[in-house]
Amino acid sequence: MKIIVIGGGASGLMAAILAKTPNNEVTIIENNSDIAKKILITGNGRCNYWHEDIDNSSYYTDNENHLKKILNNQSTVFNQLTSFGLVPKNKDGYYYPLSNQASSVRDMFKYQLIKKGINIINEVKVIDIKKEDATFIIKSEKETLECDKIIIATGSNAGLKEENNTIHNILKRLGHTINPILPSLTPLIVEGAKKYNWAGIRTEVELSLISDYKVIKEERGELQLTNEGISGIVTFNISGYASRELAKHNDVSVQINFLPDIKDVHTYLNERAKVMGNVSMNELLNSLLNYKLTGLLLHLSHIDGSIAYNDLKENQLKWLINNITSFECNILDTEDFSRAQVCTGGISLSEINPDTMESTIIPNMHIIGELLDVDGICGGYNLAFAFITGYLAGKCISCLE
């Protein structure tokens, strides 16, 4: 039986290795000059490939039930990676290779491909896929290939300078539903960000995403402030929700609590001032907030930093506390696909068999990884999903020989 895997990323490599048996001929065709290029840049070159807490709550999808069935295989797939030779290192729930090198993950797959005798054809751009009777015909710019079963693992537009929707358009023509594809795990553009002069500030916050006056997502973590808006993991984890709300043309904003560990800031400042004496606002806020952020919040509250806390008017104090705990700014857009780590949207998960990743519309075609409408938060969740879906597709094919 001939199997072709389109895409040499995390999901495609896993699928190819599992699908290969003595009676199955497996070929990977890859658009880039080499396989696993995205793997090399994940986790700042260390490859955070898994997380110890994987469940539906860490993902967005259009079919929660299908996702749950897929994720039920996580233990089996994690053990499979270990059996390939990947030595895990758990740091606060985040899994990395013990070497702390993403190249270890890529090389692990390359060793398996060589041992299995899997063919790899690089620099092949697929332009069309057709099915004639029981045969798939894959047309590229260079040649035409045929196979009995096909696994599509081309990934998303994340990280690309130019969008490439060729595969999505092919699958749409073949009958699949394509949910809107939008950037996720990406910075957000804030209205008037440059005027705040806050670029370079990093601070622990509680971040709330608001759409049409309703809080739809909350996250806690380190926020990075930029010339264009906001970034950092806490921003990335709400960015997919922001993308979808903006696509609906809703009014989208974020509310930032710069002192999330202090429940009652008013009482806290009063008590702090009693202990410290009649200090200036600059001194009172020193060590509580980044000094640059202190200056911005005081300025926006129309308070001179040299004024004594005891001399503040009640409305000034109320305004300051509101800016510290509920700073709100409008979100104009997300950064483009080139800045995104993953995408939200894609092939509807409802049109996939969650046990085998086979299309319910096109028999013998398996669709895996980032092509599907499933996106996770930061922390190894997206790579884990890619590995799990690749495993299910490959295992299904190997069991059918």
Domain-by-domain residue ranges, the chain? Answer: 2-182+343-398, 187-334
* Dihedral, 71, 76, 78, 80 alpha carbons, nearest 10: -140
The helix/strand/coil state of 99 is coil
What is the model's pLDDT at position 164? 86
pLDDT for the residue 401: 55
Burial of 199 (C-beta count, 10 Å sphere; 0-12/13-18/19+):
middle
SS3 content of the chain, % helix, strand, coil (to 5): 40, 30, 35
DSSP string computed for 323-373: HHH-EEEEEEEE--GGG-SEEEEEE-GGGB-TTT-BBSSSTTEEE-GGGBS
Q: Are 303 and 281 in contact (CB under 8 A)?
A: yes
**Same CATH fold, 187-334 and 2-182+343-398?**
no
Strand partners, 209: 217, 254
Pick the CATH number of 187-334 from 2.30.40.10, 1.10.8.50, 3.40.50.2000, 3.40.50.300: 1.10.8.50
- Cβ atoms of 342 and 156 closer than 8 Å: yes
**Per-residue pLDDT in tens (0 to 9) along the chain, 401 residues:** 999 999 999 999 999 999 999 999 999 999 999 999 999 999 889 999 999 999 999 999 999 999 999 999 999 999 999 999 999 999 999 999 999 999 999 999 999 999 999 999 999 999 999 999 999 999 998 899 999 999 999 999 999 988 889 999 999 999 999 999 999 999 999 999 999 999 999 999 999 999 999 999 999 999 999 999 999 999 999 999 999 999 999 999 999 999 999 999 999 999 999 999 989 999 999 999 999 999 999 999 999 999 999 999 999 999 999 999 999 999 999 999 999 999 999 999 999 999 999 999 999 999 999 999 999 999 999 999 999 999 999 999 999 75
pLDDT of 142 = 86
Segments of 245-314 assigned E as strands: 252-257
The CATH T-level fold of domain 2-182+343-398 is FAD/NAD(P)-binding domain (3.50.50)
Distance CA 231, CA 185 (A): 9
Residue 188 pairs with which residues in a beta bridge? 230, 334
- Model pTM? 0.96
pLDDT at 278: 86
List, in sequence order, the alpha helices (H) in 29-127: 37-41, 64-71, 74-83, 102-116
